[in-house]
Amino acid sequence: MLDAQKISLEMDPPPGSELDVLRLLDEVSFSVPNGHLMAIVGPSGCGKSTLLKVIAGIVEQTSGDLKWEGRDLEEEEDLHPGELGYVPQFSLAHDLLTVEECVADSMALRTQLPGTEDFEPKLDKILAITGLTELADRRVKVLSGGQKRRLGLALELVTNPCLLLCDEVTSGLDPKSEREITELLHLLSRENPRRVVINVTHSLASLQAFDSVLVMLQGRLVFHGPPDMLTHYFTVDHPEEVYLRLSQRDPLAWHESWLKKRQHYEAMLIKPEPAKQISSEVAVPDDPEHEAAAPEELPSMLSQVFTLLHRRWMIFRRDAGQVWLHLAMLLGFPLLVVIFALDGIKPLRQLSLRQESNILQELTQATQHLVEQLNAGGLVSGLVMLQVVLVTLMASNNAAREIAGERQILEREKLGGLRISAYVLSKVLFLGVFVLAQSIWMGIFVDMITGGLPGDLIVKLVLLILVSAAMTSVCLGISALCRTPEKATILSIYLVGFQLPLSGAVLSLPDWIEGVVNPFIAAFWAWSGSLRSMSDTAFYEAVKKVTETSLVTPEMAAFALLAHALIGVTMAYVGSKGSQWD
């Protein structure tokens, strides 16, 4: 049984409001027996979805007690991820995966069934009970609204949850699809004798399929009873007239009226009938096992990492636009660098060490040497910085949308037991492949075409890899902290845009600004460390003549870039762990 007593939720009011506190829920109390299907209805903004999120544990109530089978969910142990199923309003699945792949991945992330003989039978059963067997090979992006709602339910049924919470899964559907989804919810409430199914809905058209109806108005409970008593209580002829009737009295008056009559109507809530077939379109395979089984054990962290990696690579391979974009950057950006060095790097001429009697000739040679030094130093410095900036641009493109673009999917999977460490590690491993491929190819290709830039190639490759890893990690952190992929992309582009002017490679910064800015500019460390690696070559003096920025050792640059990468991964972990439900 789910038992809620005086659940309240308060928040700070918006700026400029005359209210001292904004009360989203006000002492909501109700009980729901096992094997029960309850609808939460009410006008828009009345607190329906908020109440559901409190029950799910997404939002913590300010006061009140919430108990499941006598267990206080606030003071004692929370629901096991396998005991809870939460279905958002819109199906949260990757568009490029098939229905069967989505359900199989959900099972792999939330259970230990993959690799056992029970995996395929359970997968088939879930597809059958949700009416998705014939759609198993279809990709999510081609499904209708009703089919996506069925998929959302299927993703939560992999653990056979005893508390199934649905947030407006019938909204926006045609009457036939709405009726089918409602019948499916009714069926699911009977399929497991311990299960409670709660559906938030704005529609009052299919209430007879529910065992009880809970009506909310401005955060207050104003009715909870059998659906056939709804019209009687509100003295209307049809359920559709309830909302109009609610507008005719103050919410507090409705709430106080309910408190007086609550005991009478809640006493009418009877135990629902046993499971039965209610629609030829919603069929359940014969299964005598309805015992109160223990929650499914979560898979290991490494198992979750493997599943996430496999899924991410599958999505990447099927996204032709992304594949071609990565290939274009991988091949095109190094070509862009060598365009500026088609003639290669010419060796510096050495000034004659003997004293010339012809002073004019000596001055001419010195002038020519200085010009060549400036040209060579500028070319070397520019090529190194161009490589660094293009590598950081690729890193930004790789990571900016990686988490923000699937934020709602992450939130649903976290609620189902996905470990944040497994999620972030899977992203690091996935993006690490691009870091290595793009950085190594950039360094080797440019070095090969130009005839060999001065300095140690291995040192320069290591610094390119580290600057790519640093920018990838920081942009991944930005992606985790942002609510939308658009915002994450803009911030990441700005971050890359500031790399060149603030690195000191083009224009020297004042000393006091340089000391403050340089630690945060990844491009500075890779550029500076690469140039310093040329210290045992004739080019180093040429480079020093064209830059007034202090150059650091490769070791110091590597340490700083590793620190950037570590900070970025930490940002990604913290951002992913925080809740960002819509």
Residue 289: pLDDT band (50, 70, 90) is very low
Residue closest to 158 by CA, chosen among 190, 192, 98, 111: 111
Q: In what order do the strands lie in the sheet with 22-32?
A: 22-32, 2-11, 63-68, 71-72
- Interacting residues of 279 by C-beta distance below 8 A, sequence separation 6+: 180, 183, 187
> What 3-state class would DSSP assign to 8?
strand
pLDDT at 531 over 90: no
Q: Where are the alpha helices (DSSP H) in 172-250?
A: 175-191, 230-234, 242-246
515 vs 444, higher pLDDT? 444
The stretch 513-529 carries a mean pLDDT of 84
- pLDDT of res. 512: 65
- pLDDT of res. 129: 92
Count other C-beta atoms under 10 Å from residue 511's C-beta. Answer: 10
- pLDDT of res. 450: 76
- pLDDT of res. 265: 87
pLDDT at 307 over 90: yes
Q: Mean of the per-residue pLDDT values for the chain? A: 86
- Residue 156's alpha-carbon distances to 81, 163, 164, in angstroms, are 10, 10, 8
For the chain, give the percent of residues with pLDDT over 90.
60
pLDDT at 6 over 50: yes
Which range (198-202, 289-293, 308-312) has the least confidence?
Answer: 289-293
pLDDT in tens, 372-422: 545 555 677 778 888 999 999 999 999 999 999 999 999 999 999 999 999
The stretch 154-179 carries a mean pLDDT of 90
- pLDDT of res. 70: 84
Q: CATH class for domain 2-266?
A: alpha beta
Domain boundaries, the chain: 2-266, 301-340+368-577
pLDDT at 287 over 70: no
Inter-residue contact 273 to 36 (CB < 8 Å):
no
- pLDDT of res. 349: 38
Inter-residue contact 220 to 189 (CB < 8 Å):
no
- pLDDT of res. 192: 86
- pLDDT of res. 345: 53
> What 3-state class would DSSP assign to 540?
helix
- pLDDT of res. 498: 86
Q: Return the ∠ at Cα 9 (arms to 5 and 12), rounded to 5°.
A: 160
Residue 369: pLDDT band (50, 70, 90) is very low
Q: In what order do the strands lie in the sheet with 84-87?
A: 84-87, 163-167, 196-200, 36-41, 212-217, 220-225
Residue 279: pLDDT band (50, 70, 90) is very low
The stretch 491-516 carries a mean pLDDT of 76
Strand 196-200 and strand 36-41: the pairing is parallel
Inter-residue contact 129 to 191 (CB < 8 Å):
yes
Q: Where are the alpha helices (DSSP H) in 482-538?
A: 485-497, 499-503, 511-517, 522-532
Report, in angstroms and rounded to the nearest whole number, the Rg of the chain calculated over CA atoms.
32
The stretch 70-80 carries a mean pLDDT of 77
pLDDT at 250 over 80: yes
The stretch 62-69 carries a mean pLDDT of 91
The stretch 76-89 carries a mean pLDDT of 84
- pLDDT of res. 385: 85
pLDDT in tens, 414-469: 999 999 999 999 999 999 999 999 999 999 998 888 777 777 889 999 999 999 99
DSSP 8-class letter at 269: -
- pLDDT of res. 352: 37
pLDDT at 356 over 80: no
For the chain, give the percent of residues with pLDDT over 70.
85
Which range (109-118, 229-238, 510-519) has the least confidence?
Answer: 510-519
Residue closest to 523 by CA, chosen among 569, 471, 474: 471
Strand 2-11 and strand 63-68: the pairing is antiparallel
- pLDDT of res. 451: 72
**Secondary structure E strands in 334-373:** none
Task: For the chain, give the number of residues.
Answer: 582
Residue closest to 234 by CA, chosen among 45, 103, 42: 42
pLDDT at 216 over 50: yes
- Could you give the CA distance from residue 436 to residue 466 in angstroms, rounded to a whole number? 9
pLDDT at 100 over 90: yes
Residue 530: pLDDT band (50, 70, 90) is confident
